[in-house]
Structure 1
Amino acid sequence: MKLTLGFSPCPNDTFIFDALIHHKIDTEGLDFDVEYQDVETLNLKAFKGDLAITKLSYHAFAYAVEDYELLDAGSALGFGVGPMLITKDENLARKLQEKLNKGEPLTAELELLKVGYPGKYTTANFLLGLAFPQLKNKEELVFSEIEGALLAGDIDLGLIIHENRFTYEEKGLFKVVDLGDYWEKTTNCPIPLGGIVVKRSLPKEIKEKLNRILRASVDFAFANPKSGLAFIKAHAQEMSEEVMYKHIELYVNKYSIALGKEGRAAIEMMFDKAQQMGFIPKTDKNLFLA
């Protein structure tokens, strides 16, 4: 049986899926037609139901939950892994930090700041809304273009994800806030960034098989971390091997093997909080593969 599968070309996803798509593990008779897309493209594809299995952001999952449910393996959650709001103006960084720390609303001038962000349905955008709900002047950019737009003066603030958290300082940019850290201090939970979902309409035995083989793929990757090096490098965004593996260590952890009670509780808290604030629609669907 062949199924459509979408995930990002980022090292954490290619690390997780290498063994599965290259049959380094027993895939129990399943094969895959793979698409590599940035997370916002995958989010939009999920809204249309284009893929049988896909990576998406947890924010987007709220808009796709009627048609998809979450696999227990493959998720990106953790502490110290959140998106970051950055700027090239150190004084602006300090000013915004002060407002956030004191819980003060932004001035009219600060509300007009232009923010480059990686997509409406990204978890990064959800977290930005929690910290700075008044920042409405946004421009959607591919995540890899945000640092350049800041340096060029096209935007005032940039919301960065993935490996850019390792490179912004060497480019002379300054952190306003680590939004993952902000979430953790507010909730005492790991931050849910992205997960792997499967179409609810697939037979139960296929969904359970997918969960088993995805976990086996993650287990294989941890046991053989260099096995997929050529594959990971081929899709990585011009980064050194050291940065690639820093990226993997940050986003692939125990929650990628299995969510467990702690991981599930964090996801439920995100949904509850987002629903209370009117960021996402309410649902009576079970989020998790039963």
Structure 2
Amino acid sequence: MQLKLGISTCPNDTFIYESLLCGLENSPFEWKVTFADVQTLNEMVLRGELDVAKISAQVYPQIAETYRCLGCGGAIGYGCGPLLLSSASDSFNPNLPTTLPGANTTAALLFKFWYAHQFKNTPKLEYALFNEVYQGLLGQSIPQGVTIHEHRFTWKRDGLHLLQDLGAYWEQETGSPIPLGIAVAKKELGDATIESVELEIRRSLQIARQRQNPVTPFIVKKAQIDDDEVIKSHIAMFVNDFSENVGEAGWRALDNLWRLSHC
């Protein structure tokens, strides 16, 4: 059976899914993969264009009728949330626009969650691809923005200013881990096929976790940053036991987020 899969080029996704894409032994699936930024993947799933995908957790209520949230393959954890950064200031300015990495991203929702608790007015928002947000901050064409993925590890080195760790704020207010991303599969595939997909994702992840060196040429080629130590840090932060089994705490965190997305 051929299935259309969508994942990002970020090291946590390529780490989890590499063995699956290379072909697992006795696999019933042939994978046609699309690599894209998370906002693009969100939009593709909203249009029903992918059979299986890694997407922003916050978009799930919009697709719950047609997609099933999988119990593995996502990104949930502690201390791994998006960062609100500034190119030149140590304090947030609500009068300036804030650039977010896509309207449907969990990062956007976490920013709005924080902003609503700090200010009474509506935030001024702009949107760009996640790597464009970071480049804009570096070039000072973007005064303040929310960064995700590998750039969580390079902002200090690059002279940017941390205004708020949005993940830390979520943990403080909710007491739950940060539900960044989830894997989903089309319900029309049927329960048996979806369970086989989950099994493949778990097998792929288990193979990756058993490697002595987590970084492979495949992961490096897809990454936005050519730095093995940053890639290792990225994988260590975003790939954990929640990636293999969402578990009770993970589902509780997702429920908190999905309720917030309806507000």
TM-score range, shorter chain: over 0.9
Q: How many residues align?
A: 259
Equivalent-residue separation in structure 1 for 2:134 and 2:10 (angstroms): 17
Q: Tell me the CA shift for residue 240 of structure 1.
A: 0.6
The list of structure 1 runs, each at least 4 consecutive aligned residues, that deviate by more than 6 angstroms after superposition, is: none
- Per-residue deviation, residues 37-57 of structure 1 (Å, max 9, x unmatched): 000000000000000001100
Query: Which residue in the other structure is 1:171 paired with?
Result: 158
- Per-residue deviation, residues 236-268 of structure 1 (Å, max 9, x unmatched): 113211100100001000000101111111111
Whether 1:121 and 2:120 are equivalent positions in the alignment is no
On the 8 A contact 2:87/2:142 being kept in 1, the answer is: no
Equivalent-residue separation in structure 2 for 1:151 and 1:209 (angstroms): 44
Q: Tell me the CA shift for residue 146 of structure 1.
A: 1.5
On the 8 A contact 1:58/1:194 being kept in 2, the answer is: yes
Greater Rg over alpha carbons, structure: 1
Question: Which residues of structure 1 form unaligned runs of 5+?
Answer: 97-109, 279-290
Q: Tell me the CA shift for residue 152 of structure 1.
A: 2.9
Q: Tell me the CA shift for residue 227 of structure 1.
A: 6.7
On the 8 A contact 2:72/2:243 being kept in 1, the answer is: yes
Q: Secondary structure in 2 aligned to 1:132? A: helix
Name which of 199, 210, 216 aligns with 1:229. Answer: 216
Query: Which residue in the other structure is 2:14 paired with?
Result: 14
- Per-residue deviation, residues 147-181 of structure 1 (Å, max 9, x unmatched): 22123332221100001011111121110111000
Amino acid at match of 1:144: N
Query: Which residue in the other structure is 2:145 paired with?
Result: 158
**Between the two proteins, what is the percent identity of the paired residues?**
34
Q: Secondary structure in 1 aligned to 2:33? A: strand
Equivalent-residue separation in structure 1 for 2:173 and 2:60 (angstroms): 22
* Residue correspondence of structure 1 range 10-89 to structure 2 within 5 A: 10-23=10-23, 25-26=24-25, 28-89=27-88
Q: Tell me the CA shift for residue 60 of structure 1.
A: 1.5
Amino acid at match of 1:51: L
Equivalent-residue separation in structure 2 for 1:219 and 1:166 (angstroms): 25
Equivalent-residue separation in structure 1 for 2:214 and 2:144 (angstroms): 38
On the 8 A contact 2:60/2:258 being kept in 1, the answer is: no
Tell me the TM-score normalised to structure 1 length.
0.85
Question: Which residues of structure 2 form unaligned runs of 5+?
Answer: none
Q: For the aligned residues, what is the CA RMSD?
A: 1.5
On the 8 A contact 2:72/2:202 being kept in 1, the answer is: yes
